[in-house]
Amino acid sequence: MQKKRSTSIFEKLLLVVGFLVLIMGYFFINRVFAAEGFQVSWGFLQTVFLWLLMVIFIILLAIGEDIKEGILLEQLDEIRGLKDAILRRKK
């Protein structure tokens, strides 16, 4: 049976930061694109590429945190099982 776990403060903060990066990045990139006369320049392409890398990095952080929490919960269950087995042997 799968246990449901609650989200940590780090995950909630990561969600807020991710949304802020998405919204603010899109807003600023759109503003620069309009200021340059709707023409694509190398600086614009570099900015978009770096913004996409930041978004991907935040997604990977969220995935990594979820995997880490899952592994920790599995290890906790395994340690509890070992403790119970040792206590049963002693009796």
CA angle 59, 60, 66 (to 5 degrees): 95
Alpha-carbon span 51 to 39, nearest angstrom: 18
Residue 2 reports pLDDT greater than 70: no
User: pTM score, two decimals?
Assistant: 0.75
SS3 content of the chain, % helix, strand, coil (to 5): 85, 0, 15
Most confident of 6-10, 36-40, 76-80: 76-80
Residue 1 reports pLDDT greater than 60: no
